[in-house]
Amino acid sequence: MSTEDNKTIVGRWFTEFWGKEFNPAIIDELAAPDIRFEYSLHAPCQGREQVRAFATTFRAAFPDLNFWGTADLIAEGDYVVGQWEGGGTQTGDAFDDMPVGSLPAATGREMHFTGITILKVENGLITEERGLDDGVTVLQQLALIKPATD
């Protein structure tokens, strides 16, 4: 597949997986059966079922979760890089998939942050998604860590 094809796949993934209108069917359509999925704020996932469980749990805790691109996608070979921002308000279920602490249900705490994601697309399927996000900002916004004092 061409780099433009790969960018189209990733663009759909960003819109339908990470966007405001989550489409769970996109996981079976665009994720490889053994997809590797890693972000600094969450436990790593391997495979469609773990990614589906992560997305379901994350969105149950943050029902208004929404992420969007902030720059054009960059592609080289099988890799596509995207820059994004987004967040949501924790008005739903309890959530404990963070590197420190957990949130009881419906705290009303808001998170808004940025990051960069590198995705590998092979034969029309996403085989890897690895992201680096501003986790410290999120953990502070959710009151899981305290800001440093001078």
Q: What is the mean pLDDT of the chain?
A: 97
The tens digit of pLDDT for each residue in 52-83 reads 999 999 999 999 999 999 999 999 999 999 99
Looking from the CA of 108 toward its CB, the CA atoms found within 13 Å total 0
68-122 pLDDT, tens per residue?
999 999 999 999 999 999 999 999 999 999 999 999 999 999 999 999 999 999 9
Domains of the chain: 3-141 (3.10.450.50)
pLDDT classification of 150: cutoffs 50, 70, 90: low
pTM of the entire predicted model? 0.95
User: Are 38 and 132 contacting, i.e. CB atoms less than 8 angstroms apart?
Assistant: no
B/e letters for 101-133, b = 16+ CB within 10 Å, e = fewer, are eebeeebebebebebebebbbeeebbbbbebeb
